[in-house]
Each structure stands twice: as C-alpha cells, then as structure tokens.
Copies of this chain bind each other. A is one copy, B any other.
Amino acid sequence: MQKDQGTGRVEQFSDGVFAIAITLLVLQIKLPSQAAVEQRGLAHLLATLWPSYLAIITSFVTILMIWVKHHWMFTLIQKSDHAFLYWNGLLLFFITFLPFPTALLAEYLLHPEAKVAANLYTGTVFAISLSFKGLWWHATKDKRLLAVHANSATKIEAKQITKLDQYVPLFYFVVFGVSFLFGGVSVALCLFLALFFAYREWLTNR
C-alpha cells in the first residue's frame, strides 16, 4: 500500500464499528417478563432496571467521546500505513468488546460480586484508552502520518491533542484500581471522566 493513500476507508470502517457498537448497547436491556409484571407492576420493574440504564449511558458517552476524538484526530491525519490499521484494529477490538462488560454490569451492579463486573468494565475502558494512545503515538511520531507539508497550524493542533490526552490512560488506570475497592464508584467515575473529557474538548474548541 502506498503511504499516500487517504484515510477515507479507515474512517468509514471505524465509523461503522463505532455506530454498531453504540447501537447494540440497548439490546443488553432485558425486557421485564410478563410473570414479573403481574407481581410487581411494569413501572416498578422499569425503575429497577436503572443499573442497565447507567451502564448503557456510561458506555454510550464513552464511545461517543472516543468517536469525537477519533474524528478530530483524522482531520489532522492525512495518510495511513499498515501498522496504523493494526493499531486502529486493536482500538476497535476493545470497542466491539465493550457491550459484553456493559451487559455484565447491567446484570450484576447490585449483586455482591459487582466488583468483578466493574473490574472487567473499567479494565476494558482502560484498554481502550491505552490503544487509543498507541494509535495517536504511531500517527504522530516524527509526524509520520500528518500531511507531508503539514502547516504549523496542524502541528500545533496535533501537539494540543497530545497534551490534552497525556494523562488519560493514567486516569483510567486509577479508575481500574478503584474498581477493586468500590465497584459502583468506579463505574460512576467512568461516566464522570467521559463527560469531563467531552466538556474539556468543548472548552478547547469553542
């Protein structure tokens, strides 16, 4: 593959994976059974599904935040090479995996073993943040995949992203650690971090 090939199809394939992963989340919510509805009422049962709602909202916001960042990165990246496709593939693997820990969390958030579900969930999000860092590192090392004559605006913006995201994997590593102590808190932190990163990017790009 010649290095000067564009990135259109990588974006297209990635967008497909992001879009499907984000849309499959809702399939993880279990429909209340007719038998249970007879006993406890539909409204009550829908309310007790709140761990499902929390889990899919956290995953939705996390994936959306990654997609927005992916989208921003690709406005700067002009080329693609094989190693880049594999880094992107690694990121997409963890993205497609996320619906499983999400479903696990929805089922076991109120269970005595909630910590185990939270370990897997926060561990997956940590893995997403690491592979994202690897992707960006590969793309920007020696300005490898930026435009050949990247103007200084592009370079400054690339440095800005690098700086903004410097500690993201560290944050998620801490959250992963927290999940061994407090399962529910670690999930809430995931949601908080995703919203915080979104807010910070909005501030930066106003």
Contact = CB atoms under 8 A, between A and B. Distances in A.
A17 B22 contact: yes
B22 A19 contact: no
Contact of A104 (B31, B74, B99): B31
Interface string A57-96: 1001000100110011011000001110110010011001
A96 B12 contact: no
Nearest to A103: B31
Given A12-B11, A13-B19, A205-B81, A107 B60 contact: no
A118 to B, nearest CB: 11
Chain copies in the assembled complex:
4
A18 B14 CA distance: 10
Chain A interface size, as a band, is 35 or more
Main secondary structure of the interface of A (DSSP, over half): helix
B9 A74 contact: yes
Nearest to A120: B46
Interface in A88-132: 89, 92-93, 96-97, 99-100, 103-104, 107-108, 111, 113, 116-117, 120
Interface string A1-31: 1100100011111011111111111110101
A35 interface: no
B43 A113 contact: yes
A37 interface: yes
Given A15-B16, A22-B96, 6 more contacts: A9-B71, A12-B15, A24-B24, A42-B111, A64-B89, A86-B198
